Amino acid sequence: MRINHQRLWDRLMAMAEIGGTAKGGVCRVALTEEDKAGRDCFIRWCEAAGCIVEIDQIGNIFARRAGLDSSLPPVLVGSHLDSQPTGGKYDGAYGVLAALEVIETLNDHHILTRHPIELVSWTNEEGARFTPAMIASGVFAGAFSLEYAYSRVDKEGRLLGEELERIGYKGSLPVGNRPYSATLELHIEQGPILEMENKSVGIVTGVQGIRWYDLVLTGKETHAGPSPMRYRVDPVKAAVPVLNQLYALAEQYGEQARITIGYLDASPGVKNTVPGTLTISVDLRHPDDAVLSAMDAAFKGIVAAESLQSKVDFDLREIWYSPPVAFAPRCIQAVRNALKILDVPSMEMVSGAGHDSVYISRVAPTAMIFIPCKDGLSHNELESVEQQDATNGANVLLHAVLELAGGPAI
Amino acid sequence: MRINHQRLWDRLMAMAEIGGTAKGGVCRVALTEEDKAGRDCFIRWCEAAGCIVEIDQIGNIFARRAGLDSSLPPVLVGSHLDSQPTGGKYDGAYGVLAALEVIETLNDHHILTRHPIELVSWTNEEGARFTPAMIASGVFAGAFSLEYAYSRVDKEGRLLGEELERIGYKGSLPVGNRPYSATLELHIEQGPILEMENKSVGIVTGVQGIRWYDLVLTGKETHAGPSPMRYRVDPVKAAVPVLNQLYALAEQYGEQARITIGYLDASPGVKNTVPGTLTISVDLRHPDDAVLSAMDAAFKGIVAAESLQSKVDFDLREIWYSPPVAFAPRCIQAVRNALKILDVPSMEMVSGAGHDSVYISRVAPTAMIFIPCKDGLSHNELESVEQQDATNGANVLLHAVLELAGGPAI
């Protein structure tokens, strides 16, 4: 049994039209009109495939296909439909639409599994508009309260809870406390490893730990011309040795360490004024929690040391910590077994990116499946995948779901 | 003869109410409603003092007090009324209102000078909204065309020419071609030197040269997690050694060299995305053109060397160059002579900041007078001056104007 690759591809392209950008990317940021349109479209397809759709109080969409034994906990498959502001066509949407394609394929073959199967699209996975990322799967898994999620604010000062209501996706279903026998998420790798290793599918055995910080440096705002350099209290100048040592840390902690400065803002941001404040974001990742803790300590040590010898005030705020995750052996084995059936080049790997599956793995047995994306490029309008890899990933998902859902019951 | 220090101070405080901020600063950015209100207020005061007011096509305000011989070219005194977004009460406004106080004092004493005296307030001196700075005195002196000035665009995409019209300050008087026998500008120092040297007045003999650049680094936007560090093309990481060497340059070129990074922007500016581009502004200053040229060459050399060993694309754009200026000996001497009459502690110095007088000195004999500001702080809401220094500066201006305008004619 194989999925219908053309139907999957056509839906990927149709979804990419919603919020589609001139450069071929997608801007379907969480709780915008585009996000609403993407959700509406997905729900139409789910209902046409015979699923029962429910929305929970944080806007997560669940679409259920009955099993032979409705008393058994379902197998959950899906990902997210929101995107980065300059995101690609596949990040999230591929996992959601491939899960739908699994249902369609089971329908085509008149197969009823023992366990029910549920599709899911999680709210605000990207964290581009409302931080933290993966907030809705986080609430689902008990990592955040619903009130905390509702109170998140975007750059324009709008509340997540109000935006959810505005687009009509504040559902009535309580968040969480839904038992699942297993969950699987199919996603693009968002990195270069599978492509470099010439593999079509990755068996994801766990996820890197992530630590987020905001570093706010406060100096003295003053005119660029008359102030001699030695009297300045310049936060940008003070940041340079911190950045320098930070990037050096990545080398020190080896191949698996990641350090990203994604956001910088100098205020007031005028050419002829020494800035009063500089804010930078810092994102540290490592798959080994002990190493990530060492990186965290080393970073704090750098900031403390620079702070001591500078008149600039250093305020290091810890925004988020997501510990490394090891996925469930039974779910990983189901993916391995599917790959034996399909004879597709594959490898085992750890995810470098965070995913909703990180939270979901706290409350249900979970694994992930990756396919390569071109040049490892993601969070980018030029993100692209080979159609054959998209097909292979969806077929692996199909057979892994079949095993976890108790195979063809009829 | 002395100015009325209370009248001057009251007007400074009244003007500071217009666009006044909670922190005691001023936000009277060029061609905003606040700028319009400041202009309207100034014109009312000028007319009440008996001056004839004219507006030129770039919004510069001229207020003329007749002389005994109207065929003689006037002496021009003034500065600017626009401010930085988080500016202080004195930058610009002090020079304009002290010039008005000179007129008021001459009126009080029924003194008619041989030459007419003109007050001026120049449009968009700060360059905070529309770059380049000092654009209107630049058009006046022939450094820019009027069309170029009109076509300048702010961050919201609004045109300078349209904003000028919107606030009702696109006048009919042609810009420039107005002969002046001498011009003087009184200003706060915007640096710490006078305060450190315990002087109340600075005799400004010239102005530092300034070079502005935008450095745009373009890398590859990608997800923060999965991309190994060695495959990244990260513009922020590439900028660090450039910034490091830039700040080192300032030390290499000595006490008078100034280097400022006032603006930084990483795009898309999201915590979990390696930025695709980083834009930084660079402001280099030195009073000696040969040294400034050496700094310019050294900076370009740094960028070229880093560019060679990086996959990031470095695009260095030269935005503006203002050569160092030596003021007119006759005007400088008039300031020195005024100081002999007044017995106020003073010193000769070079301005570190650009001023409208830089352009005006191209078309008329010019000098400047400085007073200290607290902690050298300027372009800052906490900018402040001692009332006694404000009085001393205005008295120096009064006596220097008297000498240049041909003394009491009646």
Each residue's pLDDT tens digit, A24-55:
999 999 999 999 999 999 999 999 999 999 99
With beta carbons under 8 A apart, name residues in chain B contacting A380: 220-222, 276
What is the model's pLDDT at position B231? Answer: 86
ipTM for this model: 0.70
For a pLDDT cut of 90, what percent of chain A falls above it?
A: 90
Separation of alpha carbons A135 and A149, rounded Å? 7
> Which residue in A262, A269, A274 is closest to B269 by CB distance?
A262
The pLDDT tens digits for B139-172 are 999 999 999 999 999 999 999 999 999 999 999 9
- Coil, strand or helix at B12: helix
Instruction: Please indicate whether residue A377 or residue B185 has the higher confidence score (pLDDT).
Output: B185
CA–CA distance, A18 with A22 (Å, rounded to integer) = 12
Flag whether pLDDT at B18 surpasses 90. Answer: yes
Predicted confidence band at A407 (pLDDT cuts at 50, 70, 90)?
A: confident
**Which candidate in A21, A232, A247, A271 is best for mutational testing of the B interface (most B CBs within 10 A)?**
A271
**Average pLDDT value for residue range A251-276:** 94
CA distances from B320 to B146, B212, B334 (A): 17, 5, 32
Checking if the pLDDT of A192 tops 90, the result is no
Inter-chain touch B243–A240, beta carbons under 8 Å? yes
With vertex at residue B359, the alpha carbon angle to CA B356 and CA B362, rounded to the nearest 5 degrees, is 145
pLDDT above 70 for B295 = yes
Which pLDDT band, with edges at 50, 70 and 90, does B409 fall under? Answer: low
Mapped onto helix, strand or coil, the DSSP state of residue A150 is helix
* Cα B378 from Cα B189, distance rounded (Å): 8
Give the tens place of pLDDT for each residue, B200-230.
999 999 999 999 999 999 999 988 887 889 8
Which of B82, B273, B358, B368 is most worth mutating to test chain A (most A CB atoms within 10 A of its CB)?
Answer: B273
- Locate tokens 């799967």: which residue? A137
B208 contacts in chain A (CB < 8 Å): 225
Alpha-carbon distance A382 to nearest alpha carbon in chain B (angstroms): 9
Q: Dump pLDDT digits (tens) for A110-126.
A: 999 999 999 999 999 99
Q: Is B281 at the interface with chain A, CB within 8 A?
A: yes
Q: Distance from A276 to chain B by nearest Cα, in Å?
A: 9
When pLDDT is averaged across residues B263-272 and rounded to a whole number, the result is 93
pLDDT, one tens digit per residue, over A122-181 is 999 999 999 999 999 999 999 999 999 999 999 999 999 999 999 999 999 999 999 999
* Residue A371 identity: I
**Residue A224 has what pLDDT?**
87
- Domains belonging to chain A, first-starting first, are 5-208+324-404 (3.40.630.10), 210-321 (3.30.70.360)
At residue A409, the pLDDT reads 54
B312 has pLDDT over 90:
yes
B210 touches chain A (CB under 8 A): yes
Q: Phi and psi for B264 in degrees, rounded to 5?
A: -135, 135
pLDDT at A375: 87
pLDDT of residue A43: 98
Q: CA dist A363 to A113, A134, A146, A182, B251, Å?
A: 22, 15, 17, 10, 58
Question: What is the pairing mode between strands B277-286 and B346-351?
Answer: unpaired
Given a cut of 60, is residue A293 above it in pLDDT?
A: yes
Q: Which of A84, A255, A270 minimises the CB distance to B228?
A: A255
Contact flag A223-B351 (C-beta cutoff 8 Å)? no
Q: Could you tell me the pLDDT band of residue B407, with boundaries at 50, 70 and 90?
A: confident
pLDDT 10s digits, A220-252: 998 888 788 988 999 999 999 999 999 999 999
Whether residue B276 has pLDDT greater than 70: yes
Q: Look at B377 and A193 and tell me if their CB atoms are within 8 Å.
A: no
Average confidence (pLDDT) over B222-250 = 92
- For residue B246, the one-letter residue type is L
Residues forming a β-bridge with B75: B117, B182
Residues of B in contact with A273 (CB under 8 A): 84, 260, 262, 379
How far CA A351 is from CA of A249, A257, A392, B123, in Å, comes to 21, 12, 19, 56
* CA distance linking residue B173 with residue B100, whole number of Å: 21
Mean pLDDT over each residue of chain A, to the nearest integer:
95
* Average pLDDT score over chain B: 95
Our CA-based measurement puts residue B257 at a distance from the nearest CA of chain A, in whole angstroms, of: 8
CA distance B61 to B118: 10
Give the nearest partner residue to A378 out of B222, B319, B378, using CB atoms. Answer: B222
Q: Tell me the Cα Rg of chain A.
A: 23
> Residue B255: its pLDDT value, please?
86
| Spatial contact of B371 and B392, defined as CB atoms under 8 Å apart | yes
